[in-house]
Structure 1
Protein backbone atom coordinates (compact mmCIF):
# COMPACT_ATOMS: atom_id res chain seq x y z
CA UNK A 1 0.00 0.00 0.00
CA UNK A 2 1.30 3.44 -0.95
CA UNK A 3 0.80 6.66 0.97
CA UNK A 4 1.18 10.09 -0.56
CA UNK A 5 2.90 12.41 1.88
CA UNK A 6 2.73 16.19 1.58
CA UNK A 7 5.45 17.77 3.71
CA UNK A 8 4.33 21.34 4.42
CA UNK A 9 6.49 23.95 6.07
CA UNK A 10 4.45 26.29 8.24
CA UNK A 11 3.71 29.71 6.78
CA UNK A 12 5.56 32.87 7.70
CA UNK A 13 5.20 33.91 11.33
CA UNK A 14 6.15 36.80 13.56
CA UNK A 15 9.85 37.24 14.42
CA UNK A 16 11.07 34.45 12.14
CA UNK A 17 13.67 36.66 10.46
CA UNK A 18 14.87 38.08 13.78
CA UNK A 19 15.33 35.12 16.09
CA UNK A 20 15.50 31.37 16.38
CA UNK A 21 11.97 30.53 17.46
CA UNK A 22 12.55 26.87 18.23
CA UNK A 23 10.09 25.43 20.72
CA UNK A 24 10.20 28.39 23.12
CA UNK A 25 8.77 31.29 21.11
CA UNK A 26 5.30 30.20 20.03
CA UNK A 27 4.85 32.94 17.45
CA UNK A 28 1.61 33.24 15.46
CA UNK A 29 1.44 33.65 11.71
CA UNK A 30 1.86 37.22 10.55
CA UNK A 31 -0.41 38.81 7.92
CA UNK A 32 1.68 37.48 5.05
CA UNK A 33 1.74 34.06 6.69
CA UNK A 34 -2.05 33.96 6.89
CA UNK A 35 -2.21 34.65 3.15
CA UNK A 36 0.46 32.03 2.49
CA UNK A 37 -1.39 29.40 4.53
CA UNK A 38 -4.60 30.12 2.66
CA UNK A 39 -2.80 29.86 -0.70
CA UNK A 40 -1.25 26.53 0.26
CA UNK A 41 -4.66 25.31 1.40
CA UNK A 42 -6.10 26.32 -1.96
CA UNK A 43 -3.38 24.37 -3.77
CA UNK A 44 -4.26 21.24 -1.75
CA UNK A 45 -8.05 21.63 -1.86
CA UNK A 46 -8.48 18.87 -4.46
CA UNK A 47 -6.83 16.21 -2.28
CA UNK A 48 -9.36 13.57 -1.28
CA UNK A 49 -9.50 12.05 2.20
CA UNK A 50 -6.73 14.32 3.50
CA UNK A 51 -5.36 13.61 6.96
CA UNK A 52 -3.44 16.55 8.41
CA UNK A 53 -0.70 16.02 11.01
CA UNK A 54 0.69 19.12 12.68
CA UNK A 55 3.63 19.99 14.87
CA UNK A 56 2.40 21.33 18.24
CA UNK A 57 3.95 24.75 17.54
CA UNK A 58 1.35 27.50 17.02
CA UNK A 59 2.69 28.49 13.60
CA UNK A 60 2.28 24.91 12.37
CA UNK A 61 -1.16 24.45 13.94
CA UNK A 62 -2.43 27.67 12.32
CA UNK A 63 -1.12 26.58 8.93
CA UNK A 64 -2.75 23.17 9.39
CA UNK A 65 -6.03 24.80 10.41
CA UNK A 66 -6.07 26.84 7.19
CA UNK A 67 -5.60 23.64 5.16
CA UNK A 68 -8.32 21.87 7.15
CA UNK A 69 -10.76 24.75 6.72
CA UNK A 70 -10.58 24.49 2.94
CA UNK A 71 -10.14 20.74 2.49
CA UNK A 72 -12.31 19.45 5.32
CA UNK A 73 -9.39 17.34 6.51
CA UNK A 74 -8.94 16.24 10.11
CA UNK A 75 -6.03 17.79 12.07
CA UNK A 76 -4.02 15.75 14.57
CA UNK A 77 -1.14 17.21 16.62
CA UNK A 78 2.05 15.15 16.86
CA UNK A 79 5.12 15.73 19.01
CA UNK A 80 7.11 13.43 16.70
CA UNK A 81 7.16 16.12 13.99
CA UNK A 82 7.96 19.00 16.34
CA UNK A 83 10.67 21.57 15.67
CA UNK A 84 14.25 20.63 16.51
CA UNK A 85 14.89 21.02 20.24
CA UNK A 86 17.32 23.93 20.24
CA UNK A 87 17.32 24.27 24.02
CA UNK A 88 18.58 27.68 25.25
CA UNK A 89 19.31 28.82 21.68
CA UNK A 90 15.55 29.20 21.23
CA UNK A 91 14.43 32.80 21.62
CA UNK A 92 17.85 34.27 20.91
CA UNK A 93 18.25 36.68 18.04
CA UNK A 94 20.40 35.63 15.12
CA UNK A 95 22.75 38.50 16.02
CA UNK A 96 23.21 37.00 19.49
CA UNK A 97 23.71 33.52 18.10
CA UNK A 98 26.36 34.76 15.66
CA UNK A 99 28.72 35.15 18.63
CA UNK A 100 28.08 31.62 19.92
CA UNK A 101 30.78 29.12 18.93
CA UNK A 102 28.37 26.22 19.41
CA UNK A 103 25.87 27.77 17.02
CA UNK A 104 28.58 28.29 14.42
CA UNK A 105 29.72 24.69 14.82
CA UNK A 106 26.12 23.47 14.43
CA UNK A 107 25.79 25.30 11.12
CA UNK A 108 29.19 24.16 9.83
CA UNK A 109 28.99 20.50 10.95
CA UNK A 110 25.34 19.46 11.02
CA UNK A 111 26.16 15.79 10.55
CA UNK A 112 28.08 15.59 13.84
CA UNK A 113 26.95 18.59 15.90
CA UNK A 114 24.22 18.63 18.52
CA UNK A 115 22.05 21.44 19.84
CA UNK A 116 22.44 22.45 23.53
CA UNK A 117 19.57 20.04 24.31
CA UNK A 118 21.58 17.21 22.75
CA UNK A 119 19.41 16.67 19.66
CA UNK A 120 21.25 15.80 16.45
CA UNK A 121 20.01 15.74 12.86
CA UNK A 122 20.26 11.94 12.97
CA UNK A 123 17.80 12.03 15.90
CA UNK A 124 15.42 14.26 13.92
CA UNK A 125 15.58 11.90 10.94
CA UNK A 126 14.99 8.86 13.16
CA UNK A 127 11.95 10.27 14.96
CA UNK A 128 10.43 11.49 11.71
CA UNK A 129 10.96 8.18 9.88
CA UNK A 130 9.56 6.18 12.82
CA UNK A 131 6.43 8.31 12.84
CA UNK A 132 5.94 8.14 9.08
CA UNK A 133 6.17 4.35 9.17
CA UNK A 134 3.68 4.26 12.06
CA UNK A 135 1.22 6.41 10.09
CA UNK A 136 1.63 4.17 7.04
CA UNK A 137 0.57 1.23 9.19
CA UNK A 138 -2.30 3.11 10.86
CA UNK A 139 -3.61 4.85 7.74
CA UNK A 140 -2.79 2.68 4.70
CA UNK A 141 -3.33 4.39 1.39
CA UNK A 142 -4.25 7.74 2.91
CA UNK A 143 -2.95 11.10 1.70
CA UNK A 144 -1.21 12.67 4.71
CA UNK A 145 -0.26 16.34 4.96
CA UNK A 146 2.50 16.83 7.53
CA UNK A 147 2.75 20.43 8.68
CA UNK A 148 6.09 20.92 10.36
CA UNK A 149 9.34 22.92 10.20
CA UNK A 150 12.04 23.59 7.62
CA UNK A 151 14.84 21.61 9.27
CA UNK A 152 12.60 18.63 9.98
CA UNK A 153 11.50 18.47 6.32
CA UNK A 154 15.02 19.08 5.07
CA UNK A 155 16.43 16.34 7.32
CA UNK A 156 14.09 13.63 6.10
CA UNK A 157 14.36 14.65 2.44
CA UNK A 158 18.15 14.57 2.60
CA UNK A 159 17.96 11.11 4.15
CA UNK A 160 15.81 9.88 1.26
CA UNK A 161 18.09 11.59 -1.27
CA UNK A 162 21.18 9.95 0.28
CA UNK A 163 22.58 13.48 0.49
CA UNK A 164 25.18 14.55 3.06
CA UNK A 165 23.48 16.51 5.81
CA UNK A 166 26.35 19.01 5.89
CA UNK A 167 25.07 20.14 2.50
CA UNK A 168 21.72 21.19 4.01
CA UNK A 169 22.07 24.71 2.63
CA UNK A 170 21.62 23.42 -0.92
CA UNK A 171 18.02 22.40 -0.23
CA UNK A 172 15.56 25.31 0.08
CA UNK A 173 12.42 24.77 2.15
CA UNK A 174 10.51 28.05 2.08
CA UNK A 175 7.63 29.13 4.33
CA UNK A 176 4.31 27.58 3.22
CA UNK A 177 6.06 25.43 0.62
CA UNK A 178 5.25 21.76 0.26
CA UNK A 179 7.17 18.72 -0.91
CA UNK A 180 5.39 15.62 -2.19
CA UNK A 181 6.55 12.07 -1.62
CA UNK A 182 5.11 8.62 -2.33
CA UNK A 183 6.05 6.05 0.29
CA UNK A 184 5.32 2.34 -0.14
CA UNK A 185 6.64 -1.11 0.65
CA UNK A 186 8.76 -0.74 -2.49
CA UNK A 187 10.53 2.37 -1.16
CA UNK A 188 10.24 6.12 -1.61
CA UNK A 189 9.75 8.38 -4.62
CA UNK A 190 10.19 12.15 -4.23
CA UNK A 191 7.85 13.88 -6.66
CA UNK A 192 8.35 17.54 -5.78
CA UNK A 193 10.46 19.66 -3.44
CA UNK A 194 9.78 23.18 -2.15
CA UNK A 195 6.69 23.71 -4.28
CA UNK A 196 5.33 27.21 -3.70
CA UNK A 197 2.13 29.05 -4.43
CA UNK A 198 1.57 32.76 -4.85
CA UNK A 199 0.06 34.53 -1.85
Structure 2
Protein backbone atom coordinates (compact mmCIF):
# COMPACT_ATOMS: atom_id res chain seq x y z
CA UNK A 1 0.00 0.00 0.00
CA UNK A 2 1.00 3.63 -0.48
CA UNK A 3 -0.60 7.03 -0.14
CA UNK A 4 -3.70 7.54 -2.28
CA UNK A 5 -5.96 10.43 -3.28
CA UNK A 6 -9.63 10.11 -4.23
CA UNK A 7 -10.92 13.11 -6.20
CA UNK A 8 -14.71 13.12 -5.78
CA UNK A 9 -17.01 15.29 -7.86
CA UNK A 10 -20.02 16.75 -6.04
CA UNK A 11 -23.58 15.46 -6.46
CA UNK A 12 -26.15 16.78 -8.86
CA UNK A 13 -27.57 20.30 -8.70
CA UNK A 14 -30.50 21.89 -10.49
CA UNK A 15 -28.04 23.83 -12.64
CA UNK A 16 -26.42 20.54 -13.69
CA UNK A 17 -29.80 19.34 -14.89
CA UNK A 18 -30.43 22.62 -16.72
CA UNK A 19 -26.88 22.55 -18.17
CA UNK A 20 -26.01 25.93 -16.72
CA UNK A 21 -22.42 27.06 -16.16
CA UNK A 22 -22.03 27.00 -12.37
CA UNK A 23 -18.46 28.16 -11.85
CA UNK A 24 -18.06 29.97 -8.53
CA UNK A 25 -21.82 30.40 -8.06
CA UNK A 26 -22.77 28.63 -4.82
CA UNK A 27 -25.51 26.19 -5.84
CA UNK A 28 -26.89 23.57 -3.45
CA UNK A 29 -27.33 19.87 -4.18
CA UNK A 30 -30.79 18.90 -5.37
CA UNK A 31 -32.66 15.87 -4.02
CA UNK A 32 -30.93 13.54 -6.45
CA UNK A 33 -27.56 15.03 -5.54
CA UNK A 34 -28.13 14.39 -1.84
CA UNK A 35 -28.92 10.74 -2.60
CA UNK A 36 -25.85 10.47 -4.85
CA UNK A 37 -23.65 11.85 -2.08
CA UNK A 38 -25.02 9.32 0.40
CA UNK A 39 -24.37 6.43 -2.01
CA UNK A 40 -20.83 7.58 -2.79
CA UNK A 41 -20.14 7.99 0.92
CA UNK A 42 -21.27 4.44 1.65
CA UNK A 43 -18.80 3.11 -0.92
CA UNK A 44 -15.85 5.37 -0.19
CA UNK A 45 -16.11 4.85 3.57
CA UNK A 46 -15.06 1.25 2.91
CA UNK A 47 -11.69 2.57 1.71
CA UNK A 48 -11.11 4.01 5.21
CA UNK A 49 -10.09 7.55 4.30
CA UNK A 50 -7.85 9.31 6.76
CA UNK A 51 -8.46 12.90 5.62
CA UNK A 52 -11.23 14.80 3.81
CA UNK A 53 -10.86 18.23 2.21
CA UNK A 54 -13.46 20.12 0.20
CA UNK A 55 -13.97 23.11 -2.00
CA UNK A 56 -15.65 25.95 -0.12
CA UNK A 57 -18.71 25.77 -2.41
CA UNK A 58 -21.60 24.04 -0.67
CA UNK A 59 -22.35 21.49 -3.38
CA UNK A 60 -18.88 20.04 -2.78
CA UNK A 61 -18.88 20.59 0.99
CA UNK A 62 -22.25 18.87 1.43
CA UNK A 63 -21.00 15.94 -0.66
CA UNK A 64 -17.91 15.69 1.55
CA UNK A 65 -20.02 15.99 4.69
CA UNK A 66 -21.96 12.84 3.78
CA UNK A 67 -18.69 10.91 3.88
CA UNK A 68 -17.57 12.67 7.05
CA UNK A 69 -20.70 11.54 8.87
CA UNK A 70 -19.89 7.90 8.12
CA UNK A 71 -16.18 8.07 8.88
CA UNK A 72 -16.15 10.43 11.86
CA UNK A 73 -13.62 12.66 10.10
CA UNK A 74 -13.77 16.44 9.90
CA UNK A 75 -13.98 18.23 6.56
CA UNK A 76 -11.24 20.77 5.92
CA UNK A 77 -12.15 23.55 3.47
CA UNK A 78 -9.88 24.95 0.77
CA UNK A 79 -11.05 27.69 -1.59
CA UNK A 80 -8.36 26.65 -4.09
CA UNK A 81 -10.41 23.53 -4.85
CA UNK A 82 -13.44 25.41 -6.18
CA UNK A 83 -14.67 25.14 -9.76
CA UNK A 84 -13.30 27.06 -12.72
CA UNK A 85 -14.64 30.60 -12.64
CA UNK A 86 -17.05 31.24 -15.50
CA UNK A 87 -17.03 35.02 -15.66
CA UNK A 88 -19.92 36.32 -17.77
CA UNK A 89 -21.15 32.79 -18.45
CA UNK A 90 -22.13 31.82 -14.92
CA UNK A 91 -25.82 30.98 -14.73
CA UNK A 92 -26.18 30.65 -18.51
CA UNK A 93 -27.06 27.49 -20.41
CA UNK A 94 -24.79 26.07 -23.09
CA UNK A 95 -27.32 27.15 -25.72
CA UNK A 96 -27.26 30.73 -24.41
CA UNK A 97 -23.46 30.74 -24.35
CA UNK A 98 -23.24 29.39 -27.91
CA UNK A 99 -25.67 32.03 -29.14
CA UNK A 100 -23.98 34.94 -27.38
CA UNK A 101 -20.30 34.02 -27.77
CA UNK A 102 -19.94 31.67 -30.76
CA UNK A 103 -16.18 32.15 -31.10
CA UNK A 104 -15.37 31.83 -27.40
CA UNK A 105 -17.78 28.90 -27.14
CA UNK A 106 -15.62 26.82 -29.48
CA UNK A 107 -12.60 27.38 -27.22
CA UNK A 108 -14.75 27.22 -24.04
CA UNK A 109 -13.06 30.43 -22.91
CA UNK A 110 -15.44 32.57 -20.86
CA UNK A 111 -15.02 36.38 -20.88
CA UNK A 112 -13.88 37.32 -17.40
CA UNK A 113 -13.41 33.67 -16.46
CA UNK A 114 -10.39 31.66 -15.42
CA UNK A 115 -7.96 30.10 -17.88
CA UNK A 116 -7.54 26.33 -17.85
CA UNK A 117 -3.87 26.67 -16.90
CA UNK A 118 -4.68 28.79 -13.86
CA UNK A 119 -7.27 26.29 -12.66
CA UNK A 120 -4.93 23.35 -13.28
CA UNK A 121 -2.15 25.02 -11.31
CA UNK A 122 -4.25 26.06 -8.30
CA UNK A 123 -6.05 22.71 -7.98
CA UNK A 124 -2.90 20.62 -8.39
CA UNK A 125 -1.04 22.76 -5.85
CA UNK A 126 -3.87 22.43 -3.35
CA UNK A 127 -4.15 18.65 -3.76
CA UNK A 128 -0.40 18.18 -3.32
CA UNK A 129 -0.39 20.47 -0.29
CA UNK A 130 -3.02 18.36 1.45
CA UNK A 131 -1.49 15.07 0.28
CA UNK A 132 1.78 16.09 1.91
CA UNK A 133 0.00 15.86 5.28
CA UNK A 134 -0.92 12.21 4.78
CA UNK A 135 0.72 9.54 6.84
CA UNK A 136 2.25 6.56 5.06
CA UNK A 137 -0.61 4.54 3.49
CA UNK A 138 -3.05 7.39 4.19
CA UNK A 139 -6.00 8.14 1.92
CA UNK A 140 -7.13 11.70 1.14
CA UNK A 141 -10.59 12.39 -0.27
CA UNK A 142 -10.82 15.68 -2.19
CA UNK A 143 -14.40 16.85 -2.84
CA UNK A 144 -14.36 19.25 -5.76
CA UNK A 145 -15.87 19.92 -9.19
CA UNK A 146 -15.82 18.43 -12.67
CA UNK A 147 -13.55 20.84 -14.53
CA UNK A 148 -11.40 21.53 -11.48
CA UNK A 149 -10.70 17.83 -10.93
CA UNK A 150 -10.03 17.06 -14.59
CA UNK A 151 -7.64 19.98 -15.01
CA UNK A 152 -5.91 19.35 -11.69
CA UNK A 153 -5.40 15.69 -12.58
CA UNK A 154 -3.90 16.61 -15.94
CA UNK A 155 -1.38 18.85 -14.21
CA UNK A 156 -0.60 16.32 -11.47
CA UNK A 157 0.01 13.60 -14.05
CA UNK A 158 2.37 15.84 -16.01
CA UNK A 159 0.36 15.73 -19.22
CA UNK A 160 1.27 18.36 -21.82
CA UNK A 161 -1.61 20.77 -22.31
CA UNK A 162 -2.41 19.51 -25.81
CA UNK A 163 -3.21 16.12 -24.25
CA UNK A 164 -5.47 17.38 -21.44
CA UNK A 165 -8.61 16.51 -23.45
CA UNK A 166 -7.72 12.79 -23.24
CA UNK A 167 -9.10 12.88 -19.69
CA UNK A 168 -12.87 12.76 -19.97
CA UNK A 169 -15.27 14.45 -17.58
CA UNK A 170 -16.60 13.05 -14.32
CA UNK A 171 -20.23 12.28 -13.60
CA UNK A 172 -21.88 13.63 -10.47
CA UNK A 173 -20.51 11.80 -7.42
CA UNK A 174 -18.02 9.84 -9.52
CA UNK A 175 -14.37 9.87 -8.59
CA UNK A 176 -10.80 9.39 -9.76
CA UNK A 177 -8.06 7.70 -7.76
CA UNK A 178 -4.37 8.57 -7.66
CA UNK A 179 -1.69 6.45 -6.03
CA UNK A 180 1.81 7.54 -5.13
CA UNK A 181 4.42 5.45 -6.92
CA UNK A 182 8.18 5.53 -7.11
CA UNK A 183 8.04 8.07 -9.93
CA UNK A 184 5.24 10.26 -8.65
CA UNK A 185 1.46 10.12 -8.68
CA UNK A 186 -0.28 7.79 -11.15
CA UNK A 187 -3.91 7.39 -12.14
CA UNK A 188 -5.57 4.15 -10.99
CA UNK A 189 -9.20 4.97 -11.84
CA UNK A 190 -11.07 7.74 -13.60
CA UNK A 191 -14.78 8.59 -13.51
CA UNK A 192 -15.47 5.56 -11.32
CA UNK A 193 -18.68 4.90 -9.42
CA UNK A 194 -17.93 1.51 -7.91
CA UNK A 195 -15.03 0.00 -6.01
CA UNK A 196 -12.53 -1.90 -8.19
CA UNK A 197 -11.27 -5.44 -7.96
CA UNK A 198 -7.56 -5.73 -7.00
CA UNK A 199 -5.24 -5.43 -9.99
CA UNK A 200 -3.11 -8.40 -11.01
CA UNK A 201 -0.84 -8.07 -14.04
CA UNK A 202 2.68 -8.34 -15.42
CA UNK A 203 2.73 -4.65 -16.29
CA UNK A 204 5.26 -3.41 -13.72
CA UNK A 205 6.45 -4.03 -10.17
CA UNK A 206 4.14 -1.24 -9.00
CA UNK A 207 1.06 -2.49 -10.84
CA UNK A 208 1.45 -6.22 -10.31
CA UNK A 209 0.30 -8.05 -7.22
CA UNK A 210 0.80 -11.45 -8.85
CA UNK A 211 1.83 -12.86 -12.19
CA UNK A 212 -0.71 -13.62 -14.89
What TM-score do the two structures reach when normalised by structure 1?
Answer: 0.85
Matches within 5 A, 1:38-49: 38-49=38-49
Matches within 5 A, 1:1-199: 2-18=2-18, 19-24=20-25, 26-99=26-99, 100-107=101-108, 114-141=109-136, 142-159=138-155, 160=157, 162=159, 164-165=161-162, 168=165, 171-183=168-180, 186-197=183-194
Aligned residues: 191
1:138-170 CA distance string (max 9 Å, x none): 334331100001111111233316265576376
Change (3 A) 1:151 1:45: same
Moved over 4 A (4+): 163-167
For the aligned residue pairs, the C-alpha RMSD in angstroms reads 2.4
SS at match of 1:193: strand
Change (3 A) 1:166 1:119: farther
Task: Give 1:121 shift.
Answer: 1.1
Change (3 A) 1:94 1:118: closer
Task: Give 1:51 shift.
Answer: 1.1
Task: Give 1:115 shift.
Answer: 3.2
- The CA distance in 2 between the partners of 1:151 and 1:165, in whole Å, is 16
**8 Å CA contact retained: 1:45, 1:71:** yes
SS at match of 1:98: helix
Contiguous gaps of at least 5 residues in structure 1: 108-113
Structure whose CA Rg is larger: 2
